[in-house]
Amino acid sequence: MKQLNEFERIPLGIFPTPIHKLEHISKKLHTNVFVKRDDLTGLGLGGNKVRKLEFLLADAKRQGAQVVFTTGGAQSNHAMLTAAAAGKVGLKPILILKKRGVTERLGNQLLEHLMGTEVRFMDTDDYADIYAEMDRVGQMLGVPYYKIPCGGSNALGSLGYVDCAREIREQGMHFDHIVCAEGSGGTMAGMALGAKLFLPGTKVHGMMVDTDPFDQITPALMREAAALLEAGVEIGPKDYHLADMCGPGYAIPSQEGNEAISMMAKEEGIFLDPVYTGKAFAGLVKMAAEGAFRETDNVLFLHSGGAGGLFAVL
Ligand SMILES: Cc1ncc(COP(=O)(O)O)c(C=O)c1O
């Protein structure tokens, strides 16, 4: 198997991110709940995309790109962080976003305005239209360009979370469960593959906050990332667990999600977001209520960031 450090990477964040216990929430949920603070990755407002972008932008640079395209919804944290990271390493970001969600100068749109990012909106529900538009704009510009898929969720981007699992092992504690949000798939796929490789006995739960077929996307991405690593592992349904926490729809707040945001804010002074981490944490609370965790279990919640959405979506 290849080592993760054999892949080129541009340092963008501050790692390792801290892990600490949530004392009040542990008492409330009758199990030991810890949080991995990937909201503190150190670029922009923090968040999970920083780990993926370290690999993706290194690849863009290696290929000689001058422009980096990416996409997502109007309030995409991934798009905002791609703009922040690209600017930092001397690449020009162009965001072609779906004209869905809050397009006013609020939340991540405000942050993109502050960075002077070129943002275009496309009135489409199909990412294929957007990737075609990237090629059209790129060819018109006549400079080498690099396309990062929605959420940075390809095999290379997912290595960011394989590496996060390795980092968790080095932090020295055993976790029986890891819970994270699943929005485009790369975080969950990377974490689940990483757990298989580095965290024996840890079960990874992906809380789906969108309606895509994650039962196919997750194992496919895990297999592609495993192939990049030449890991020689078989991926099967036992290697990951998915739960539907989408509620009324992607980027539409749910009641359980909002209650989870309030609980985390009130009990621990930590802010989650309405699109991803609030719904994912609601999934953890639900699993606890259903008796999925023992009192002696250690349960790690991945706080994957998303603060920008708090100021636009709730
Ligand atoms: C804050 C936050 N958490 C979780 C996710 C989900 O990660 P992924 O897209 O890798 O499934 C995203 C991005 O979509 C995000 O912005």
- DSSP per-residue codes, 81-141: HHHHHHHHTT-EEEEEEES-S--SSSHHHHHHHHHT-EEEEE--S-HHHHHHHHHHHHHHH
Distance between Cα 151 and ligand 1 center (Å): 7
Distance between Cα 227 and ligand 1 center (Å): 23
pLDDT at res. 101: 85
Give Cα 291 to chain centroid, integer Å.
27
Q: Please state, in angstroms and rounded to a whole number, the distance separating the CA atoms of residues 13 and 36.
A: 15
* Tens-level pLDDT at each residue, the chain (314 residues): 999 999 999 999 999 999 999 999 999 999 999 999 999 999 999 999 999 999 999 999 999 999 999 999 999 999 999 999 999 999 999 999 999 888 999 999 999 999 999 999 999 999 999 999 999 999 999 999 999 999 999 999 999 999 999 999 999 999 999 999 999 999 999 999 999 999 999 999 999 999 999 999 999 999 999 999 999 999 999 999 999 999 999 999 999 999 999 999 999 999 999 999 999 999 999 999 999 999 999 999 999 999 998 999 76
Q: How far is CA 106 from CA 60, 67, 77, 83, 187, in A?
A: 29, 25, 12, 16, 26
Q: Please state, in angstroms and rounded to a whole number, the distance separating the CA atoms of residues 273 and 258.
A: 9
Q: Please state, in angstroms and rounded to a whole number, the distance separating the CA atoms of residues 308 and 117.
A: 16
Query: Which ranges in the chain are annotated with CATH 3.40.50.1100?
Result: 4-48+153-310, 49-152
Report which protein residue has its CA nearest ligand 1's atom 5. Answer: 183
Q: The tokens of 287 are what? A: 């699993």
Which residues are the active-site residues? 76
On whether the CB atoms of residues 210 and 223 are closer than 8 A, the answer is: no
Report which protein residue has its CA nearest ligand 1's atom 3. Answer: 304
Q: Ligand 1 atom closest to Cα of 47?
A: 1
Contacts of 87 by beta carbon, 8 Å cutoff, 6+ apart: 93, 115, 117
pLDDT at res. 75: 95
Pocket test for ligand 1, best of 78, 211, 215, 246 (most atoms within 8 A of CB): 78
Correct CATH for 4-48+153-310 of 3.30.70.360, 3.40.50.360, 3.40.50.1100, 3.20.20.140:
3.40.50.1100
3-state DSSP assignment of residue 161: helix
CATH topology of domain 49-152: Rossmann fold (3.40.50)
pLDDT at res. 314: 61
Distance between Cα 77 and ligand 1 center (Å): 8
Q: Ligand 1 atom closest to Cα of 72?
A: 14
pLDDT at res. 119: 98
Which residues does ligand 1 sit against, CB inside 6 Å? 47-48, 77-78, 151, 153, 181-188, 273, 276-277, 304-306
pLDDT at res. 64: 98
